[in-house]
Amino acid sequence: MRHESFRDPRFYDLARKHDVAIVFADSDNYPAIDEPTAPFVYARLMRTKKAVKTGYTTRELEAWAKRARAWAKRGDVFLYFISGAKERAPAAAEALIKLVSKK
């Protein structure tokens, strides 16, 4: 869903009818649609930065941990670090796991 035209209740209803999750994209290039349409959340975090050892700052990761915990109330959460500085994705994932597990 890489265009603003997907922000449409008819699209949400169609995805919901078939239990298809709409990808939540954290990107400057794609819309971030947070509409529950399936019993799980699929998110792609695409802003890792090479200059930051964990790809995202601690503050940013804390905000994502909070959001992931909120999403988990809907069901499973599949959250991937992809794009950006890909070499930082493993460190970002490990740091986020620690933060999510804290609370």
One digit per residue, the tens of pLDDT, for the chain of length 103 reads 889 999 999 999 999 999 999 999 999 899 999 999 999 999 999 999 999 999 999 999 999 999 999 999 999 999 999 988 999 999 999 999 999 998 6
Q: How many domains does the chain have?
A: 1
Query: Among candidates 91, 96, 101, 77, which has minimal Cα distance to 49?
Result: 91
Q: List the Cα angle 58/103/80 in 5-degree steps.
A: 55
User: Residue 49: which domain range?
Assistant: 4-102
CATH number at residue 70: 3.20.20.410
DSSP, res 21: P
- 55, 85 in Cβ contact below 8 A? yes
Q: Half-sphere exposure of residue 2, counting CA atoms within 13 Å on the CB side? A: 2
